[in-house]
Structure 1
C-alpha cells in the first residue's frame, strides 16, 4: 500500500510548531501542536507489533477463499499474497491504526473532538508502520484558582398591573362566546372564510381552505389578508395580491380571493366573582387576580434565575481565555442555521420575511448567530473544565431523571426516548449535559448576584416552580428522602438475597 491515500486537508498556522517527543516502547509517538485546538500525531509502530495483526489478517482471508490444492483455512501467506497482493496488509492496517492512534492520544494526554485526518507515511513489507493523524483536540483552559465570589447583575423582578391585566384578559378570552353580527368585519372580530390562491389563472396546489375561522388583525397567516377582510360583511368577497411563504411558489406573487361567510363578535364575561368561580377555584375575583400576580411573580423569578446563570457564566468567560476549534464552530453554526430555517418553515415564514420583521439584515443575523455559537461552545469547554476540577459525577437516578425530562420536552414517550439514546450511544452526551448543569449550578451558587436595585438574588433555595424554599425545610426534605432511600434499599436486600439463592 502506498502512502498518502488517507490524507484530508487541514489548517496549519504560520507560527513554528511546538514539538514534543515521547517514547514508550514498543510505540513511539510525537505531537506537533498546530494550534491551541489542533494537533498532529506522528506514530511509529515496529514490525514486531504489526506481525500479530498480519498473521490474523492472513488467517481471516484463508478462511474466506478457496484455492485448489489447499484446504479452507490452510492457505499459506505466500499464496494469499500472490493471489491477493496487499489484501492482508490492508486488513492488518485497518486493525492496528485505530488502536495505536488511541494509545498515542492517551500517551500524550490529548482529548479528540472529532475524527482524525490520517495519512500513512510508511508501510514497508518488513519495516515499521508510520502514520500521522491531525485532529481537533480539547483546548487547555487555565481556570482561576478560586471561582467563588463572581459578581453579576440582573434586572429586578417586577410584575406590573399591565402584566396582570394582560393575563386576566387572556383567561377571560377563553370563556368568551361568539355571536353572529350583521355588520362589516373589524379588528378583533372572528370571521369564517374561504381562501383560494391562483397563479396565472391556475389554482395553486395546497392554496385553498374552506370554512376557516380567523381573528381579524391577528396576522401570521398571509400578507394582505387583514386589510382585505376589514369592511367585508357576510356573503362578500375580495381579491388581493400576496406572496406564499411555503410550497413551490415561495416568494412569487399570487392572486388570493377571500369569501366571508360569517362575521362574529366575541362576547366576554364580566370580571366579577362569578367569573372567578367559573374560571378558577377561587370564590372572588380579588383572589383570582392575586393568584395571577403570584404566578407571574414566580415566572419572573425563574426568568431572573436563568438570566443570573447566563450573567455569572459570562463573567467567568470574561476572565478566562478559551481557544475554539474552528471546525467545531463551523459545524455548530451550520446546525443552528438549519434549525432556525426549519422552525421558520414550520411557522410558514421565510428567513427573509423574519429578518424584515425583526429589522435585521442578513449580515447582522449571521454575525449575531456566530457570536452566540462561539459563546455557547466556549461555555461548554469552560463548564467541562469546572466539572473535571470538581470531580463532578452523575449517578443513575440523575441520568434517568434527565432523560425523562428531555423526553417530555420533546413530546416523546420516555421509554422510547431512552431506548433511542442507548441504541445510538447518546448516553455519554446526556451525562456530559448533566455534569455541565451541575458545574454551572455550583458556579452560580457561589457567585454574588444582585438585581438592578442592589438586592441579593436568591438562587440557592429557588424551587422549580419559582417559589423560594426554606433552607430548614429543604434540609428536612433531603433527610426524609435519604431515609426513604435507605428503607427501600433495606427492603430490597432480602429479595435480592432470595433471588440469588434461587439462582444458586
Structure 2
C-alpha cells in the first residue's frame, strides 16, 4: 500500500492511497465466489455460473462490494501511516476497482489547526460577576404571584369603573374596516386587566369602563400573525361590557402555605423555599455570565484557520435546534417561509465563534490534563435526575441506548475545563446593568 499526503490548506489534507492489483484481484475473487453460490441465472445451475457471465450481470454489485472491502481494510491503516486525525468524516473519491489494475482512492478531510498556547495565556482572566441576591421584596413578589394564582373571582356588586387587577366580562366583534371578520365574534370573554394576556389596546380601552359601556379598540397585527385574516391589518374590536369581577386573594398564613400541596407546613417554610429557588436561579445566571466571558476571552487566544467541516456541522445543529424550537412553540417553519440556507448564513458568525472557542478549549483541556471520571458521570446523572424527576439509572439507560454517552462526556469535559479556567481567574462583582450595557454594545459592534 502506498500513501501520499497533500496539504491543501492549514487545516485540510488529501491522502491518496494506492492498493496493488494483486490485492484487488484477491478481493474481487472473494466477492465473486460469495456471489456465485447465491445468484440465479437462467440456464446455469447454482454455483456453476461462469465468471464472465457473472461480471455481465453482477459486475457493478461486485465492484461496489469490493471497493467497500478494500476501503474498510486500508482506511484506518492509511490514516495511521499518515499520522493524521480527521476532525470529521472524510470525503472519499475513487473509481470502481478493476481486475488486474491498482485501486486508487483519495481522502479529503479537515484536521485540527496547529497553534501555540501557554498556561499563562489563559490564567488570570479578569471576569465580572453580576451581583445578584434574593431580597425580601422579591420573596414577597413571588408570594403575591402564588396568591394571584389562588385568587377567587367575585362579581362586583356596586357600580364602579374597572381598574387594573379586575377581570372584565365582555362580548366583542372584530371588524376589518366596516366588514365583520369571519369567526371574529365571541361572548362572555374574560379580560384580565394588567394580566398581559390580551392585546394592550384592548386592556387600555376597558380601564375605567362600566357595565353597559361599549368601548372600542383598534389593534395592529404584524404581517407574520398566524391568523391570515388579521395579518398586517388594523383590526377594530367593538366591545360590550357585561360584567365586572374582582380578585380576592387568600390570606398569607400557614393555611395558604399548606394549600399549595402539603409540602409546606408553615408560611416561613414556603418563604425559605422561594428564597432558595431564587438563589439557585441567580447562581445559574452568574455561572452563565462567567461562562460567556470566559468563552469570549478564550476564542481570542487562537489565530488559526477554522476547519470548514466543524463550522458546517455546528451550523446544521443550530438550524435544526432553531427549527425544532419553532415547531414546539406551535409555528410551522415552512408556513413562515423560513429558508434553512438563509438561516445558516445568519447563524454562521455565531457558529464560527463556537468552533473557535471549542478548539482553544480543547487545547486548554490538554494543558490542564482534565479527565472525566466515573464519579463525574454519576454526579451529572444525579443532577439530571434532580432536574427532571427521573431516576438516574433510567436516564443512564436512555443515554446508553441512544449512544449519547460520548456527547455527555464531552459536555462534562468542557465544563471541567471552564471550571479550571475560572479557578485561576480574578472575579469582581458588579452591577448587572453594567454587564447588560456592555453586552448590548458588543452586539451592536458585531452587527455594525
Say yes or no: does 1:308 pair with 2:282: no
Q: How many residue pairs are counted as aligned between the two chains?
A: 410
Tell me, in whole angstroms, the C-alpha distance in 2 between the residues paired with 1:162 and 1:400: 38
Tell me, in whole angstroms, the C-alpha distance in 1 between the residues paired with 2:259 and 2:195: 27
CA contact (8 A) 1:234 1:261 kept: yes
Tell me, in whole angstroms, the C-alpha distance in 1 between the residues paired with 2:328 and 2:175: 23
Tell me, in whole angstroms, the C-alpha distance in 1 between the residues paired with 2:19 and 2:318: 41
- Bigger RCO of structures 1 and 2 (CA < 8 A, at least 6 apart): 2
For 2:192, the equivalent position in structure 1 comes to: 215
Secondary structure of 1:219's aligned partner:
coil
For 2:340, the equivalent position in structure 1 comes to: none
Q: Which runs of 5+ in 2 are unaligned?
A: 334-342, 432-448
Q: CA deviation at 1:367?
A: 9.4
Tell me, in whole angstroms, the C-alpha distance in 2 between the residues paired with 1:31 and 1:408: 51
For 1:263, the equivalent position in structure 2 comes to: 244
Tell me, in whole angstroms, the C-alpha distance in 2 between the residues paired with 1:278 and 1:83: 79
Say yes or no: does 1:438 pair with 2:416: yes
Q: CA deviation at 1:46?
A: 1.8
Secondary structure of 2:427's aligned partner:
strand
Say yes or no: does 1:94 pair with 2:94: no
Q: CA deviation at 1:436?
A: 1.7
For 1:189, the equivalent position in structure 2 comes to: 166
Secondary structure of 1:64's aligned partner:
coil
Tell me, in whole angstroms, the C-alpha distance in 2 between the residues paired with 1:132 and 1:250: 57
For 1:203, the equivalent position in structure 2 comes to: 182
Tell me, in whole angstroms, the C-alpha distance in 1 between the residues paired with 2:229 and 2:78: 55
Tell me, in whole angstroms, the C-alpha distance in 2 between the residues paired with 1:414 and 1:195: 52
Secondary structure of 2:300's aligned partner:
helix
Question: 1:191/1:62 Cα in 2 relative to 1: closer, same or farther (>3 Å)?
Answer: farther
For 1:450, the equivalent position in structure 2 comes to: 428
Q: CA deviation at 1:173?
A: 2.8
Say yes or no: does 1:180 pair with 2:160: no
For 1:166, the equivalent position in structure 2 comes to: 141
Q: CA deviation at 1:109?
A: 3.6
Query: 1:425-504 to 2 correspondence within 5 Å?
Result: 425-452=403-430
CA RMSD in angstroms, aligned pairs only: 4.4
Question: 1:188/1:122 Cα in 2 relative to 1: closer, same or farther (>3 Å)?
Answer: same
CA contact (8 A) 2:131 2:429 kept: yes
What are the superposed Cα offsets for residues 207-262 of structure 1, whole Å, 9 maximum, x if unpaired?
A: 78876655223335557443454455557665755537325658344666666654
Say yes or no: does 1:119 pair with 2:101: no
Secondary structure of 2:92's aligned partner:
strand
Query: 1:50-65 to 2 correspondence within 5 Å?
Result: 50-65=24-39
Q: CA deviation at 1:93?
A: 0.9
Question: 1:416/1:65 Cα in 2 relative to 1: closer, same or farther (>3 Å)?
Answer: farther
Tell me, in whole angstroms, the C-alpha distance in 1 between the residues paired with 2:112 and 2:361: 13
Question: 1:278/1:69 Cα in 2 relative to 1: closer, same or farther (>3 Å)?
Answer: closer
For 2:18, the equivalent position in structure 1 comes to: 44
Q: CA deviation at 1:37?
A: 3.3
For 1:457, the equivalent position in structure 2 comes to: none
Tell me, in whole angstroms, the C-alpha distance in 2 between the residues paired with 1:194 and 1:106: 76
TM-score normalised according to structure 1 size: 0.65
CA contact (8 A) 1:239 1:256 kept: yes
Q: CA deviation at 1:194?
A: 6.6
Q: CA deviation at 1:432?
A: 1.6
CA contact (8 A) 1:179 1:266 kept: yes
For 1:481, the equivalent position in structure 2 comes to: none
What are the superposed Cα offsets for residues 328-386 of structure 1, whole Å, 9 maximum, x if unpaired?
A: 334534543554465456557899xxxxxxxxxxxxx9999544433322233233333
